[in-house]
Chains A and B, each alone.
Chain A
Amino acid sequence: MMRRPVLIMVLGFLVWSGAFLGIYFTQATACSLATENQFLHPSGWALRSVLIGLFLASVVMVVAVYRLQRRSSALSGDTRTSDFLKGVTTYVSVAALFSTAFCFIGVFWLTLCAL
């Protein structure tokens, strides 16, 4: 009961944070190595595919987190407190889902390494 409900509340945005670091780091590292590695060349399909894969995986994970939150015992019950926590958690998770979709959608069409 201690900190779990609060942690569960922000789980969606923790996934968003991980996705942010993961996608940005992958893109930056691949662009840095692209000069030596043809597989990672920005005009090729490989890097874009990896980034799109990471993006889709992030969206799926945020959705999975939302489903997990709905079933979580830490938020279950019909007390006033759990009702409050459920309400806030739902708002935060929807915000996390929208943020994940909106922030990284550019991986589909924007140039990957050009300045």
Chain B
Amino acid sequence: MSENMTSGQNPIALHRALERIWGTKPGWGRLAAVNHNVIGIRFMLTALVFFAIGGILAMLIRTQLASTESVFMDAETYAQVFTMHGSIMMFLFAIPFFEGMAIYLLPKLLGNRDLAFPRLGAYGYWCYLFGGLILIGALIGGVAPDSGWFMYTPLSSSVYAPGINSDVWLLGITFVEISALSAAVEIIVTIMKIRAAGMSIDRIPIFAWYMLVVATMMLVGFPPLILGSILLEVERAFDLPFFDPTRGGDPLLWQHLFWLFGHPEVYIIFLPAAGAISTILPVLAGTPLAGYRMIVAAIVSMAFLSFGLWVHHMYTVGIPHVALSFFSAASALVAVPTAIQIFAWLATIAHGRPRFSIPMLHIFGFFFVFVIGGLTGVMLAMVPFDWQAHDTHFVVAHLHYVLVGGFVFPMLAMAYYWVPHLSGKQPVQHLSHAAFWMVFIGFNVAFFFMHLTGLLGMPRRIFEYPSDFGWETLNFVSSMGSFLMAMGFALVALDFILLFKFGRPFRRNPWHAGTLEWAMPTPPPSYNFASIARIDSRADLLDPDKIGPRLAAGDGYLGMPRHDRMEVLGVDPISGEPDQVVELPRQTYLPLWTALATGVFFLLMLFKLYWLIPLALAAVIGCFWLWTVRDGSPIDRDPVSIGHGLKIPVHIRAQIPPSHLAMVLTLVANATLYISLLFGCLFLWVSAPNWPPQDVSLDIQILVLAAVVSILACVGSRLASRKTNMALAGNALAFCAHLLSAALFLWVALLTLPAPSGHAAIASLFVILIYAALHGMIGAIFAAHAIWRALRGHDEAVRSLDLRIGRLWHDYSAAAGVCAVGFCLNLQSLIAGSTP
């Protein structure tokens, strides 16, 4: 901190006032929690419960495979067990755990009080919990998904999986992914906008760079999977044949959509862990991180490259050599940025005087395991080797080396490093060493030998194997190793229980770190900092021991509670200079109610009670509308003081408030889904058998009219935002135009197209038109909200945030409508051109 600021009030009174405003209420009030400390811890604890369930399932798998022709489980049960093991570990443990970690840590590392959208974080948590419960409920009920965590078609299609098992996966995972997307938006906006004063983009802590990249990858990586899940569910529920080759579909479309998500997912899981290592390692080595800039460049490059190698999971499906070379080259290339990070960490250790504490032990475990996983990854990136090892236990061993090495060992390092922050106690460490060695040895025994089992030809996902294949000894050793590893994890759990119960209290910053999360009391108060710092050097090279007491004394920005408002500082994303005070919403049950309504929607889909779905949708929309209604008062205030003689506007009047950026990001995710849909349809035209269809008749006049009308909606919204006296008329025009365009798109989709179940081409056109109609309907809701505001007398000249957000949607839906019409006409002409 370079400046001296004084709030002029009693620090004790300041802390009490802040706790009253920011604290979560006891009893039922806990369900209304929106505070990032509470939500982050809930995410992590829930993820650990799912990790334990996934671990038990892994033990069942290893028990089954320990001997030949085992009768422990039958094929059906085994299929459910390995599917749920993979799904839980990937979707319910790894991603949510680091989301929770980011939610808990980021505001602290960035020197602020909370995330940009506390209610969104709470909503994401409830969606995650309810989605996870649907999956676990299905497991208990014996109807768990059984087609593998990748849900390949046609195995997961209704012909081969007629029960609700696959529906549970498709709907449950999509429900959970809402939380991933909401976390992605929240993390990006928080890193860009909600930071300490003076924290320019070159000063943000390295962990924030990692999370910025990861969240952007999630924003672009998850929509293809969501689209794939929607298309497969639509096929299963309404017989639209996207993946049925007898009617112009193609099972490979699912693989493309799944792995477009699935491969970046590996890096989405690895990078947060790598970010934690880049934060912890310099502290334990006692020297700054080597190659900060190079690491930032490496993770940005890695993010892009990771999207260019999805087909390396599909080398054996029949792809021309030249196309294989693109993916093989990208697969090999992605090792380079990974290696840059590893060399930077080694250089950091070499420059410093490392302390061989428990977190460091786990980091060494990470190095050993992850490097082996990376090397076998390069082997699998080479097409000839992959053809030999594809779908064998070699791949199982590789992915566990990458994921356990790249996530679980760093997670344990993080836990030992940051649990003192969370609990206010330091570990006693009697069990920590033994636990580490049991996990490390157990893991390597279990999975190193699995490479050999795979090279001997043992395929994945088989529930039994013959005794004369020579696989039994290796499998038995692997199973013993996995049991040892499980005991190691049990010991880790016991170690943490003992830490919480008997840990040694400490005053502040036990690791002598240079990051801001240690510049606060531990366990942290709900508001993190009594006042916000101004920093003048990189945010992981600070002195929390000096900064902490000054912030606690209110000697920073916003060190004066104002009208019981939850205020955080908004900054310019590049310079880090304060440009707005962001007023956060108070504790509320709305996220819970909204998630419950969303859950009801998914359950109705699952049980095929389609006639009730409009009611559930109305409930979801109603709940979200209440979020906006309760936002602040309609009266604007002048710029407010943040202390130290500075006055800045509240976010509602700022040029780029967090919610505006959030809408842009939401539309980026939405556009990714739309582009995936359009490319998916083109893929069917290029690759699927049984094309072209017999008849594709489109009502061109009505489609062109729908596109023109959707542009009118866009014109109406612009009119409303440019002239204050036109707010009502402009938004009324937008409302009517949206409704009309939606009706026209629906008219063509439902009444003039041939039956979409007849051919994938018709199904594709149908889904694209429904997408355009849906956007028109949502646009009408935005316009209706703007009309309601105008009628209530909001001053639209200065308080235009809601209108600007609405305008983004209107513009996007107009563009989507025009693209839909253009695509439909083009596809029709392509089909006509190829009709014999």
Instruction: Judge whether A106 and B202 touch: CB under 8 Å.
Output: no
Min distance, Cβ A79 to any Cβ of chain B, angstroms: 9
Instruction: Judge whether A27 and B330 touch: CB under 8 Å.
Output: no
Q: Does B394 make an interface contact (CB < 8 A)?
A: no
Q: Does A112 make an interface contact (CB < 8 A)?
A: yes
Interface positions, chain A 18-44, Cβ under 8 Å from B, are: 20-21, 23-25, 27-29, 31-32, 36
Instruction: Judge whether A103 and B330 touch: CB under 8 Å.
Output: yes
Q: Does B300 make an interface contact (CB < 8 A)?
A: yes
Instruction: Judge whether B325 and A13 touch: CB under 8 Å.
Output: no
Instruction: Judge whether A88 and B321 touch: CB under 8 Å.
Output: no
Instruction: Judge whether B322 and A111 touch: CB under 8 Å.
Output: yes
What is the 8 Å Cβ interface bit string for chain B, positions 154-191, against chain A (1 contact, 0 not)?
A: 00000000000000000000000000000000000000
Instruction: Judge whether B575 and A27 touch: CB under 8 Å.
Output: no
- Residues of B contacting A13 with CB < 8 Å? 300-301, 304
Min distance, Cβ B594 to any Cβ of chain A, angstroms: 29
Instruction: Judge whether B320 and A115 touch: CB under 8 Å.
Output: yes
Q: Does A62 make an interface contact (CB < 8 A)?
A: no
In this complex, what residue of A is CB-closest to B307? A17
Interface positions, chain A 85-102, Cβ under 8 Å from B, are: 85, 87-88, 91-92, 95-96, 98-99, 102
- Residues of B contacting A111 with CB < 8 Å? 320-322
Instruction: Judge whether B323 and A27 touch: CB under 8 Å.
Output: yes
In this complex, what residue of A is CB-closest to B675? A21
- Residues of A contacting B321 with CB < 8 Å? 106, 110-112, 114-115
Instruction: Judge whether A9 and B326 touch: CB under 8 Å.
Output: no
B294, B329, B574, B834: the one contacting A5 at CB < 8 Å is B574
Given A1-B574, A115-B318, do A24 and B326 touch, yes or no (CB 8 Å)? Answer: yes
Q: Does B333 make an interface contact (CB < 8 A)?
A: yes
How far is it, in angstroms, between the C-alpha of A98 and the C-alpha of B332 when the chains are bound?
13
Instruction: Judge whether A91 and B320 touch: CB under 8 Å.
Output: no
A20, A84, A106: the one contacting B201 at CB < 8 Å is A84
Min distance, Cβ A32 to any Cβ of chain B, angstroms: 4
Q: Main secondary structure on chain A at its contact with chain B?
A: helix
- Residues of B contacting A87 with CB < 8 Å? 293
How far is it, in angstroms, between the C-alpha of A2 and the C-alpha of B330 when the chains are bound?
31
Instruction: Judge whether B293 and A112 touch: CB under 8 Å.
Output: no
Instruction: Judge whether A99 and B294 touch: CB under 8 Å.
Output: no
In this complex, what residue of B is CB-closest to A110? B322
Interface positions, chain B 306-340, Cβ under 8 Å from A, are: 307-308, 318-323, 325-326, 329-330, 333, 336-337
Instruction: Judge whether B574 and A81 touch: CB under 8 Å.
Output: yes
Instruction: Judge whether B574 and A2 touch: CB under 8 Å.
Output: yes
Q: Main secondary structure on chain B at its contact with chain A?
A: helix
Q: Does A104 make an interface contact (CB < 8 A)?
A: yes
B329, B572, B682, B834: the one contacting A1 at CB < 8 Å is B572
Min distance, Cβ A21 to any Cβ of chain B, angstroms: 8
Given A1-B575, A85-B202, do A103 and B329 touch, yes or no (CB 8 Å)? Answer: yes
Q: Does B305 make an interface contact (CB < 8 A)?
A: yes
How far is it, in angstroms, between the C-alpha of A7 and the C-alpha of B66 when the chains are bound?
52
Min distance, Cβ A22 to any Cβ of chain B, angstroms: 11
Given A84-B202, A92-B301, A95-B301, do A2 and B573 touch, yes or no (CB 8 Å)? Answer: yes
Given A5-B574, A87-B293, A113-B320, do A99 and B325 touch, yes or no (CB 8 Å)? Answer: no
Q: Give the contact-size bracket for chain A.
A: 35 or more
How far is it, in angstroms, between the C-alpha of A95 and the C-alpha of B686 when the chains are bound?
32
Instruction: Judge whether A28 and B687 touch: CB under 8 Å.
Output: yes
Q: Does B200 make an interface contact (CB < 8 A)?
A: yes
Q: Does B296 make an interface contact (CB < 8 A)?
A: yes
Given A27-B320, A81-B202, do A95 and B337 touch, yes or no (CB 8 Å)? Answer: yes
How far is it, in angstroms, between the C-alpha of A87 and the C-alpha of B300 when the chains are bound?
13
Min distance, Cβ B475 to any Cβ of chain A, angstroms: 34
Q: Does A71 make an interface contact (CB < 8 A)?
A: no
Instruction: Judge whether A107 and B305 touch: CB under 8 Å.
Output: no
Instruction: Judge whether B304 and A88 touch: CB under 8 Å.
Output: no
- Residues of B contacting A17 with CB < 8 Å? 304, 307-308
Q: Does A63 make an interface contact (CB < 8 A)?
A: no
B293, B305, B325: the one contacting A91 at CB < 8 Å is B293
Given A92-B297, A99-B301, A113-B320, do A36 and B834 touch, yes or no (CB 8 Å)? Answer: yes
Given A24-B326, A112-B322, do A91 and B308 touch, yes or no (CB 8 Å)? Answer: no
- Residues of A contacting B318 with CB < 8 Å? 115
Q: Does A10 make an interface contact (CB < 8 A)?
A: yes
- Residues of A contacting B200 with CB < 8 Å? 80-81
- Residues of B contacting A20 with CB < 8 Å? 308, 326, 330
Q: Does B656 make an interface contact (CB < 8 A)?
A: yes
In this complex, what residue of B is CB-closest to A5? B574
In this complex, what residue of B is CB-closest to A107? B322
B325, B656, B687: the one contacting A110 at CB < 8 Å is B325
- Residues of B contacting A80 with CB < 8 Å? 200, 202
Instruction: Judge whether B686 and A29 touch: CB under 8 Å.
Output: yes
Interface positions, chain B 665-684, Cβ under 8 Å from A, are: 679, 682
How far is it, in angstroms, between the C-alpha of A33 and the C-alpha of B834 when the chains are bound?
9
Instruction: Judge whether A102 and B329 touch: CB under 8 Å.
Output: yes
B307, B333, B656: the one contacting A103 at CB < 8 Å is B333
Given A88-B296, A99-B333, A106-B329, do A24 and B301 touch, yes or no (CB 8 Å)? Answer: no
Q: Does A66 make an interface contact (CB < 8 A)?
A: no
Min distance, Cβ B66 to any Cβ of chain A, angstroms: 39
- Residues of B contacting A83 with CB < 8 Å? 202
Interface positions, chain A 35-67, Cβ under 8 Å from B, are: 36, 51
Interface positions, chain B 794-836, Cβ under 8 Å from A, are: 834
- Residues of A contacting B656 with CB < 8 Å? 2
How far is it, in angstroms, between the C-alpha of A102 and the C-alpha of B308 when the chains are bound?
13
- Residues of A contacting B320 with CB < 8 Å? 27-28, 31, 111-115
- Residues of B contacting A24 with CB < 8 Å? 323, 326
How far is it, in angstroms, between the C-alpha of A88 and the C-alpha of B318 when the chains are bound?
39
21 contacts between A and B (CB under 8 A): A3-B573, A6-B573, A9-B300, A10-B304, A20-B308, A28-B686, A80-B202, A83-B202, A84-B202, A91-B301, A95-B336, A96-B301, A96-B304, A99-B304, A103-B308, A103-B326, A103-B333, A106-B325, A110-B321, A110-B325, A114-B321
8 nearest interchain CB pairs?
A91-B297, A106-B325, A84-B202, A13-B304, A110-B322, A95-B301, A103-B329, A32-B686
B residues apposed to A, CB below 8 Å: 192, 200-202, 293-294, 296-298, 300-301, 304-305, 307-308, 318-323, 325-326, 329-330, 333, 336-337, 572-575, 656, 679, 682, 686-687, 834
Additional A-B contacts beyond A28-B687, A92-B300, A102-B329 (12; CB < 8 A) = A1-B575, A2-B656, A17-B308, A27-B320, A32-B686, A81-B575, A84-B201, A84-B202, A87-B293, A91-B301, A95-B337, A110-B322
